[in-house]
Amino acid sequence: MGMHFRTRAIHVGQEPEPITGAIVPPLHLASTFVMRDVTTPTDYDYARTGSPTRHGLEAVLAALDDGTRALAFASGMAATHCVTGLLAPGDRIVTGTDIYGGTWRLFNKLLTAHGILVTAVDTTDTAAVARAVVPGTKLVWIESPGNPLLTVTDIAACATIAHAAGALLACDATLATPVHCRPLNHGADIVMHSATKYLGGHSDLLGGALVVADPELGTRLHWLQNATGAVMGPLEAYLCSRGVKTLELRVLAQSATALELAQWLTTLPQVRRVYYPGLPTHPGHALAARQMEGGFGAIVSFEVEGDLAAARRVVESTKLFRLAVSLGAVESLIELPAFMSHGSYEPSARRAGGITDSLIRLSVGLEAAADLRADLAAALQA
């Protein structure tokens, strides 16, 4: 019988150092490694290709997502960009409308300028995904839950559609984390995480990760990573390995608080609409209940009654919810997606996707739920 998730998070890739017995593997800052001779292969030669600290993190990330190989990158966007390196000019990507703003910018501003064709559809509509996948489609890129509207996409259905067309399915599972969902088990080929968020969990590192089930695909992606060089540094890998050890405990607690806050927000006259997959009224609730386990994540978005000025008053009035981009850390954060995390969208695309000026996104941290509720209540009355 295999180890449980939280046990793997603590022990895989984190074996005691054999010489001294140190319970925490040492941080290897070395950029180069001495070779025995010119021709004998060694485990390490240059830190861009691989380092002991990074490999320890990659081992545990692969184990947590039920994959065969993980690769750690300098940022989530570096990880995403590496996947697009599998494509050639003339190839097509199908993606969603409820995706991270940086991903939207990469696809629509950079890749299109290099001959990659990008089609964005509502990926909660499986039929729309199927219509969009045409000859030449090589990659279907989804997020579930989506950011910032928390839409839920059927990973298994998208995998079937992509594979029938000979395309790869990649899933940004940053918001779900491996605690709640492991997309490789639903048919995805590649999972992407912004390690900056829940994997690290403490607002003190920048990083990204890819996890794959197919070793050959892992080899191709590692070749691209080594060729382009956007690797995670050893200090970040060390910090992320430490963060991962408490991943399950943090995410389960944060998700429980998020559900409590989402339910409370639905009762307030100042709130027009709440977006959270854990609410039975959420259109993706039934799918999320099947596809996710242990909870529905710790991001809650809601629209306030009123205009941009009203929403701005709320986000600038909270004391515990800090006004900042990013998410997934022990500290709770609040932001206006239209002007912060998703400001890179064209305004027309943002509005078409349902990201209004009055939309507020919460990243629920580990503070006491009662304190967070009181903080929001005061800000909504400001």
Q: Assess whether 100 carries a catalytic annotation.
A: yes
Q: Is 66 a catalytic residue?
A: no
Distances (CA, A) of 373 to 33, 145, 243, 378: 52, 23, 26, 9
Q: Any catalytic annotation for residue 197?
A: yes
Given the residues 8, 92, 197, 250, select the one marked as catalytic.
Answer: 197
78: number of Cβ within 10 Å: 21
Catalytically annotated residue among 48, 105, 245, 273: 48
Q: Is the dihedral of CA 140, 141, 143, 147 positive or negative?
A: negative
Residues 6+ apart with CB under 8 A from 125: none
d(CA 99, CA 151): 9
What lies within 8 Å, CB to CB, of 21 at 6+ separation is none
Cβ–Cβ under 8 Å, residues 14 and 64: no
As a dihedral over the C-alpha atoms of residue 274, residue 277, residue 278, residue 279, rounded to 10 degrees, the angle is 40
Helix, coil or strand: residue 6: helix
Which residue out of 100, 198, 238, 276 is catalytically annotated? 100
* Among 98, 154, 172, 357, the one annotated catalytic: 172
Helix (H, G, I), strand (E, B) or coil at 137: strand
Could you confirm whether 154 is annotated as catalytic? no
Please give the positions annotated as active site.
48, 100, 172, 197
